[in-house]
Amino acid sequence: MNPSFDLRTRVAIVTGGNGGIGFGMALGLAHSGATVVVVGRNATKNANAIAELRAANPDADPCALTADVTQERDCTALVERTLERYGRVDVLVNNAGTNLRKPPQDYSLDEWRMLIDTNLTSAFLCSKAVHAPMAAAGRGKIVNIGSMTSIFGASFAAPYSASKGGIVQFTKATAVAWARDNIQVNAVLPGWIDTELTQQARKDVEGLNERVVARTPAGRWGLPQDFAGIAVFLASAASDFITGAAIPVDGGYSSQL
C-alpha cells in the first residue's frame, strides 16, 4: 500500500455512514485499512453497514453508534464512545444530511430548523466534539459534505442550499482556526448521486432524471462508490497540505456553463 494513503492505524467516524454517499466513503476508508465508526439513527441500517465493513476489512473492528446528530448530547456521546472503545479519533466525516423540496415560502420554521440542524449544525457539533482529542493527538482530518447547492441556487431547496452554502464557509473557518493544530478541514461537493435521498427527489421533481443526465458532462448519475477515493485522500497523509478546500465530485457538473 502507498504509505501516503495507508489508514491502517486510523479511526474514522462517518455520520450517515450506514447508506448512500456516507457508506461509499466508509467502505473506501475500510478498504484502506481504517477502523470505521458508522453513525445513524436506524439500527438495522447500521447493522447491515457494519457487516459489509467487516467483510471489506476483516483486520479492523468497525462499530455502529445509534445517534441523532441534531442533538448536542448525541454528538458529544458518539465521540466519547469512540475514544472509550479505540482510544483515538483521527477522522471525522460530517455526511449526515436530508432535504425537503418545496418553494421557499412554503417551509415552516420547524422544517427550516430541522434542515439547518441536520445538515449544518450537526457538522458544528461533531467538529466541536472532536477538536480537543484531535488537537491533543497533534493531528486530525475533518471532511464536510456540501452539495452543488453550495454553489448554485435551487428553487426547490432554499434551507438545504443555505445549509450547504454554510458548510463551505464553516469548512474554511475551521480550516484556518485549526491549521496550527495540524487538523485539516475540507469539503466535498457531490453532484447528483443515486441514493435514497435522490430516489425521492426523482419522484418529487418531474423530469429530474433526464435533466441530470443531460446536464452532467459524464452523462450519468454519480454512485456512492465514486466517493471512496476522495474519502481516502482527504483522510490520509496524502492531503496534509490541503485545508479549507471545497472539492466537487460531480462528473463535471460545476465546470459546465
Residues 215-244 that bind ligand NDP (CB under 6 A): none
Round to whole Å and give the CA distance between 56 and 63: 13
Residue holding cell 477502523? 35
- Position 165 contacts ligand NDP (CB under 6 A): no
- Position 20 contacts ligand NDP (CB under 6 A): yes
Whether 160 is catalytic: yes
Catalytic residue among 86, 107, 160, 253: 160
Which of 59, 206 has the CB closer to ligand NDP?
Answer: 206
Instruction: Determine the angle formed by the axes of helices 109-116 and 158-177, rounding to 10 degrees.
Output: 30
Q: Which three cell numbers stand for residue 112?
A: 427550516
Q: Which three cell numbers stand for residue 129?
A: 466534539
- Position 129 contacts ligand NDP (CB under 6 A): no
# residues contacting ligand NDP (CB under 6 A):
31
Round to whole Å and give the CA distance between 202 and 192: 11
Tell me the backbone φ, ψ of residue 37, rounded to 5 degrees.
Answer: -110, 110
Residues 143-162 that bind ligand NDP (CB under 6 A): 145, 147
Select the residue interacting with ligand NDP from 4, 8, 9, 42 (CB under 6 A). Answer: 42
Q: Which stretch, 80-88, 124-132, 187-195, 203-211, contacts ligand NDP (CB under 6 A)?
A: 187-195
Residue 9: strand, helix, or coil:
coil
Residue among 127, 136, 133 at smallest CA distance from 177? 127
DSSP notation for 129-141: HHHHHHHHHT-EE
- Position 251 contacts ligand NDP (CB under 6 A): no
Binding region for ligand NDP (CB under 6 A): 15-16, 18-22, 39-42, 45, 67-70, 95-98, 118-119, 145, 147, 190, 192-193, 195-198
